[in-house]
Structure 1
Amino acid sequence: MTCIGFLSVAPVVEESMAPYVADAVAALDDFDVEYETTPMGTIVEAEDSAELFAAAHAAHEAVGGQADRVETFLKIDDKRTVDQRADEKVAAVEASLGRAARSDAEEAED
């Protein structure tokens, strides 16, 4: 997989967005993509941009019928000469950093 996207689908609603976001994430299951949901969006990996666009469109439409307004953001990293997965990109940053690329919440709580 060489096409990595950051997808955020957000309905403009007064109540919690969680049920709407869940519908958007569930729509990804109908496509040949791998994904990981984070607090701010979902990382989606696909073989090519066409599959990524199709999955993002389905996620957008899964929310569209339930809200008067939906804002969707899709950022794409389409490396065409290198086959690099999202976790490999994070590992490269961690190797340069010399540690995990996150704060240690357990130490901060002590």
Structure 2
Amino acid sequence: MTVVAFLSVAPATDESMASEVANAVAALEEFDVTYETTPMGTTIETDDIGELFDAAQAAHEAVDGDRVGTFLKIDDKRTTDTDAAAKVEAVEAELGREARRER
């Protein structure tokens, strides 16, 4: 089973969040997960949903601030073992091209 999730952790601030987001991403290194960070959040993959929750909690707690917002979206498809890359590849196959556009 592969659990795929999207995690976004951010302090409530008008300043740059880069250093605090970096702290959240760095916290993921302590767990048995793979991840890819994008401008809007981090895609996480693991075989154990408990590991996912532990990693998300660590990322949340790694961010310093008076107020921290965390969004976690989970895709726990239990009948097949499909990773994040395969999901993107399926969309690209339907499009007949890469699912991106450069400016």
Do both share a fold (TM > 0.5)?
Answer: yes
2:78 aligns to what SS in structure 1? coil
SS of residue in 2 equivalent to 1:43:
strand
In the aligned structure 2, how far is the partner of 1:48 from the partner of 1:76?
Answer: 12
Q: Runs of 5+ in structure 1 lacking a partner?
A: none
Q: Which runs of 5+ in 2 are unaligned?
A: none
TM-score by length of 2: 0.97
CA drift of 1:22 comes to: 0.0
| Rg larger in structure | 1
Q: Secondary structure at the match of 1:101?
A: coil
Q: Which TM-score applies when normalising by structure 1?
A: 0.91
Tell me what 1:47 maps to. Answer: 47
Tell me the percent identity: 67
Aligned to 2:90: 92
Q: Distance in 1 between matches of 2:33 and 2:65?
A: 25
1:72 to 66, 70, 74: 70
User: Deviating runs (4+, > 2 A) in structure 1?
Assistant: none
Aligned to 2:14: 14
Aligned residue number for residue 79 of structure 2: 81
Question: Alpha-carbon deviation of 1:13?
Answer: 1.5
